[in-house]
Chain A
């Protein structure tokens, strides 16, 4: 029999702990974009390097651009503001001279 200590408690809303985000990446060397899914705690640099390899880039210092802003390669995707469903662009930030 239910009493005060066992009365049904309202359920807590489930935390949104989706770890993976899926994004669309455009690269200037290919007319068609590709879709990638990554853990949101991976860095921009790591994931950009993976995307670059998939687009057959040989080398370089790749990063992503989101809404016109070039992202910091050292930041985690989530900290850099990347969200599920985003469209990103691949670019290279190797130094000029």
Chain B
């Protein structure tokens, strides 16, 4: 991306920050956004399947190219920020949402996640080109960072543990 494109991206992000920060404040979520590196992190908790305690989750967002491109959301190891596949996201229950955004591969499957598009290595080739992400219909729609955080948060609250166990930390 050019410097000019990065400046446009920063302007879009800055316009949306008050809403996502307020949402995170109301719900006790951790949110940081690095406008220089165009990265954001969302820390949240969801119910653990085993013992009723809360499990930690970390979602990172690569905001390069936003809004021409959707963010690249990843559910990563909350301890190391490494990508860990299915151990990253929560394991959703089929309660309110007809189907979950959390895929068995660990990818967050939504048109508002760049990483879900097959042209970029994800599982989906049914949404057209990634640059048309805002026009995709018939599935989850989230057109601002606040709405994306809202969906990740709601599904995490309805989850029961992680899809897979966290890997052991290297000594």
Contact = CB atoms under 8 A, between A and B. Distances in A.
B99 A96 contact: yes
A58, A61, A92: most-surrounded residue (chain B CB, <10 A): A92
Interface in A47-82: 57-61, 65, 68, 70
A17 to B, nearest CB: 32
Contacts of A10: none
A95 B99 contact: yes
B152 to A, nearest CB: 11
What class of interface size applies to chain A in its complex with B? 20 to 34
Given A95-B98, A96-B97, A97-B99, A29 B157 contact: no
B144 A28 contact: yes
Contact of A30 (B19, B149, B151): B19
Interface in B2-17: 16
A13 interface: no
Nearest to B95: A70
Contacts of A94: 98, 138-141
Contacts of B151: 91-92
A38 B97 CA distance: 25
Contacts of B146: 27-30
B147 A29 contact: yes
B101 interface: yes
B26 A70 contact: no
Contacts of A70: 96, 154
Contact of B137 (A26, A29, A59): A59
Interface stretch (B51-59, B60-68, B102-110, B162-170): B102-110
Contact of A28 (B20, B109, B155, B157): B20
Nearest to B108: A96
Nearest to B141: A60
A59 B144 CA distance: 13
Given A68-B157, A70-B154, A91-B154, A29 B19 contact: yes
B101 A93 contact: no
Contact of A92 (B23, B26, B140): B140
Interface in B37-55: none
Contacts of B22: 31
Interface of B: 16, 18-23, 26, 96-103, 109-110, 116, 124, 137-144, 146-147, 149-151, 154-155, 157
